[in-house]
Structure 1
Amino acid sequence: MKNIKFDKSGSAEFSKTLHARVNEYFKKTKKNRYGNSNMVLKTIVMLSVFFIPLAFISSGLVTSTWLLFVLYISSGLGMAGVGMGVMHDAIHGSYSKNPTVNKYLGYSMNLIGANASVWRIQHNVLHHTYTNIDHGDDDINAPFFLRFSPNAKRYWIHRFQYLYVWFFYGLSTISWITSKDFVRVTRYHNMGFFNKAGEYKKELLKISSWKILYYSYALVLPLIMVPLPAWIIILAFLNMHFVTGICISLVFQTAHIMSETTFPEPDEKGLITNQWAAHQLATTSNYAPKSRIFSWLIGGLNFQVEHHLFPNICHVHYRKLSKIVAETAKEFEIPYLVKTTFLKALGDHVKMLRQLGRA
């Protein structure tokens, strides 16, 4: 990856003005930037929706196939809720002012089978810094059969990706709990992360240990306790992850892989001809800004523009901040992308996938 840099001169006044207005908002309302009682409630709800069905499955009381699938799928919805509404803020350090609280709630990522340390680099460092930049943003560095950037190499199979991509979205968290974390921690080690003495080996051991713990209560214990054929239990477990993968992929992909978002390329010196804040607005889109329930369920990630500009602010504040961001962007004549509903965002995402498969 090139040493990518952003032009610090362009739109610098926009960033300065926006931050001043956001600071003034918190000063005037006397609110802090972190989570509140709403976040505590959400944490309890999402962790309960994830763990309670698994506990019931492992109780030995589940004897029917349909109930097993219902419970596993319910747990999958809770898993998605934990990922989007709890661990996401915690790993960004925006859940609480207390770093210890963020650290331990960040481990909820490990409890759902993935790894917080790997996610922190993939998401916080690479995705948030180099959004939609090929070979910089690890969220668009896809396998050869998927093309998420017009700057990536195109193959004939991409013409059909808008049809088959949903299957791979569903497999995304299955990849997380099996190979993805090991592949990425090795790649990040080669990129210069995890390079302190013995850190890489320790991280591999930690990843393995957390995954053993996860498989123990999410799959092994049900295999022991549920009086049904093993293949049915494994299939129900995979269904849980397929539901989670679909939920998380659609929420994140409809914020960046869109027809109106840009995919800038650095010049020969690695320079992006845009100031970082303006770059975030150009590469990110909001959706369903008026849907309060939907926003609560997905951890405020329908306000992706605000999240990318202020990842250190808890998502419970994004709805209010969105008005400030939109007005400031309009004042400085910077595009502020938003789709009125999630379905419109999803339709535009499909349109973009088709476009990427043809040109």
Structure 2
Amino acid sequence: MKTKTKFPSPKAENFYAELRKRVNLDFAERAISIHANRQMWLKGTLFISLFFAIYFAVIFSGANLLTLALLAILLGIVCAFIGFNICHDAIHGSFSSSKKVNSALSMIFHLVGANPYVWNITHNIVHHTYTNISGHDEDIDIAPGLIRICNEEALHPHQRFQQWYAFPLYGLASLSWVFRKDYKKFFQKRIGARENIHPGIEYFNLFFFKALYYFLFIALPIILMDIARWQVVIGFILLHLGQGITMGLVFQLAHVVELTAFPLPDATGNMEEAWAEHQMRTTANFSTNSSVASFFLGGLNMQIEHHLFPKISHVHYRHISQIVRQTAKDYNIAYNENQTFMSALQSHFRMLKTMGAPVNSSMVNKIALVPLK
């Protein structure tokens, strides 16, 4: 049984207490809600509309195979944007002040092939608590045995090439999510150190909505489209390559770059730093000043703000980032940031290369990767 990891209690006048005070004051002074605004609702409507428009175009347009292939990839990318912009906020409870609205919107996650209940456990509860802690945060287990991202993982000879083969695997990860990951996470005894005990209704939801997804994206196209079954299968794979690469890159660029650390607890399970300071060390932003990136990626390019304030809708992250940045500076805490998507991508590539190298793997975050005393 894994030892439960514990963070020390923060001091009364600590970084996070001051940060929350400043952010709360800012919302109060501007007299606005921490939840979705009109822009958020319009954006959500746009992506849902695009989803159905592309889906029905694929099914009923009778377009040539090349056009169908391109539409399948585009549909996958739109599915990723739906996950980023609607489902992610809804499952965190930050889209609306109404639990019923958040619950309803979280059900849209089934349309992208994922289970919102399982995601809530693996992401909201475990990943957001034990970020980048090997053996606890299963979100960083991209492809165990294939991709190595910290020194706690065994090094294999083939991983010297992982910076090249990792990116195609991100696309395949979406297929794994649809056919394997949700089932595996649901039925394994523990996720990290958290024991899995599920309400009975969630067993029904898992199998019913997975079956519905398979029907909508595999069976129905086979029934209605005038193309061969193997061509439908290729289209389904292309959809998930588009969806998987989009989702994989965004999440990896936030936690698996040269700026982020992978701290370990001591032998008794205690971490050296309080939870908020841990989040600052293990998370990084990218394209912070890009309104385009924030629009399409649901604020996930600003993971620092998201990890510190998951109950605040992502439409507010660009504004509060200035408060977070200044407070971190006041407390002499690093604010990890890559200025552009490309600089973050290059950093991720270099980290994969370093962690796959037999000699140099210990050089990345070498202080953070040893047990804390």
Normalising by the residue count of structure 1, what TM-score does the alignment of the two structures yield?
0.95
- Residue aligning to 2:29: 28
Q: Report the CA distance between 1:150 and its aligned residue.
A: 2.2
Say whether the 8 Å CA contact 1:49–1:74 is kept in structure 2.
no
The whole-number CA distance in structure 1 between the counterparts of 2:244 and 2:303 is: 19
Give the 5 Å matches for 1:1-359. Answer: 1-9=2-10, 13-59=14-60, 61-142=61-142, 143-188=144-189, 193-195=195-197, 199=199, 202-358=201-357, 359=361
The whole-number CA distance in structure 2 between the counterparts of 1:13 and 1:52 is: 49
Q: Report the CA distance between 1:193 and its aligned residue.
A: 4.6
The whole-number CA distance in structure 2 between the counterparts of 1:163 and 1:104 is: 39
Q: Aligned-residue CA RMSD in angstroms?
A: 1.6
Say whether the 8 Å CA contact 2:74–2:242 is kept in structure 1.
no
Say whether the 8 Å CA contact 1:145–1:158 is kept in structure 2.
yes
* 139-148 or 327-336: bigger deviation: 139-148
The whole-number CA distance in structure 1 between the counterparts of 2:108 and 2:189 is: 22
Say whether the 8 Å CA contact 1:51–1:75 is kept in structure 2.
no
The whole-number CA distance in structure 2 between the counterparts of 1:336 and 1:148 is: 21
The whole-number CA distance in structure 1 between the counterparts of 2:160 and 2:291 is: 36
Stretches of structure 2 lacking an aligned partner (at least 5 in a row): 362-373
The whole-number CA distance in structure 2 between the counterparts of 1:330 and 1:353 is: 29
Q: Report the CA distance between 1:167 and its aligned residue.
A: 1.4
Q: Give the residue type in structure 1 aligned to 2:58.
A: I
Q: Report the CA distance between 1:237 and its aligned residue.
A: 1.3
Say whether the 8 Å CA contact 2:284–2:304 is kept in structure 1.
yes
Say whether the 8 Å CA contact 2:80–2:112 is kept in structure 1.
no
Q: Could you list the per-position Cα deviations for residues 195-252 of structure 1 after superposition, in whole angstroms to 9, with x for gaps in the alignment? A: 26xx3x6433321110111121222111111111111121011101101100011011
Q: Give the residue type in structure 1 aligned to 2:95.
A: Y
Q: Give the residue type in structure 2 aligned to 1:256.
A: H
Stretches of structure 1 lacking an aligned partner (at least 5 in a row): none
Identity of aligned residues (%): 37
Q: Give the residue type in structure 2 aligned to 1:195.
A: I
| 3-state secondary structure, aligned to 2:138 | coil
The whole-number CA distance in structure 2 between the counterparts of 1:326 and 1:282 is: 13
| 3-state secondary structure, aligned to 2:67 | helix
Q: Could you list the per-position Cα deviations for residues 23-75 of structure 1 after superposition, in whole angstroms to 9, with x for gaps in the alignment? A: 0000000011100111111111111222221122222x314101211221221
| 3-state secondary structure, aligned to 2:49 | helix
Q: 1:10 to 1:270 in 2, by over 3 A?
A: farther
The whole-number CA distance in structure 1 between the counterparts of 2:278 and 2:303 is: 13
Q: How many residues were matched structurally? A: 355
Normalising by the residue count of structure 2, what TM-score does the alignment of the two structures yield?
0.92
| 3-state secondary structure, aligned to 1:255 | helix
After TM superposition, the runs of 4+ consecutive aligned structure 1 residues lying more than 6 A away are none
Q: Could you list the per-position Cα deviations for residues 312-346 of structure 1 after superposition, in whole angstroms to 9, with x for gaps in the alignment? A: 00000000110000000001000001111010000
Say whether the 8 Å CA contact 1:11–1:274 is kept in structure 2.
no
The whole-number CA distance in structure 2 between the counterparts of 1:144 and 1:85 is: 31
Q: 1:330 to 1:189 in 2, by over 3 A?
A: closer
